Structure 1
């Protein structure tokens, strides 16, 4: 079930998501569950992933629902720019309404268009001294990720961050790679 306009239904779903995400799982299982739930519940989201930025700006796709996500994460790492790369590093969210007209990331935008990305959003999940992470949400069509989608996705990302913290059991997050 996907939501955008019906906030009450979404609030109920977020409660269910929180319960689902807090279930005991390994970190890898939690990250994969987060990306699948994002696609299943967020309006306009066709693909999702978690991008990790290591020291030296090395980027890893640690969870993804598709090759599109992995290609996007690789491009952002190779080019050193992009909405999810910047969300991880800067602790804020970014929304690209139409990748065809995007100018904030002049090297990344053409690569994203080639991958078939129409719109996307990125949200910081956590910031540790040795790693930063962002939740990446993608749409194949432009104009499908609205301001309301961004607000609801921010709420989802906040729950995802809590689930990640729970899955690491109080230890520092270290995804070996």
Structure 2
């Protein structure tokens, strides 16, 4: 260890109090940086950005909830539409078969196969039981049956009876020379 100089004990010594005081002064001055406009504005900008971020997240969550609700409504509407279409198809198939059977009726007292309401596929209340009942039907009772079938209710009573007769599948009296179904 021939080349190492030993510490000099008689030289200047550090003033720890002065060093501590200097460090405290430096820390105080560093803390004052927060008072500079650029730092104060930066902090305000950061707070604003955080607030905007929270608001954006809240809005996104709200939109996601609304979209889920909308999707549920659309699914329900599609399911209802499927049900409605199935019901309409079933009523249509039933009514087509009933019209075919009704087209073979030759006597005024033969039972008419009642048609089903297209929107519910249920029997139509007050549907005429026989061609004679149809011929004797008037006013609101005739209109209710036509309306249940989705048919117009305008015109004279004779027009309405003819419309119902046709829609039910019954032959016209003119088709049979007046000897079959009564007006």
TM-score, with normalisation over the residues of structure 2? 0.31
| Bigger radius of gyration among the two | 2
Of Structure 1 and Structure 2, which has the larger fraction of its residues in helix?
2
Q: Give the structure, 1 or 2, with the largest relative contact order (CA under 8 Å, sep 6 or more).
A: 1
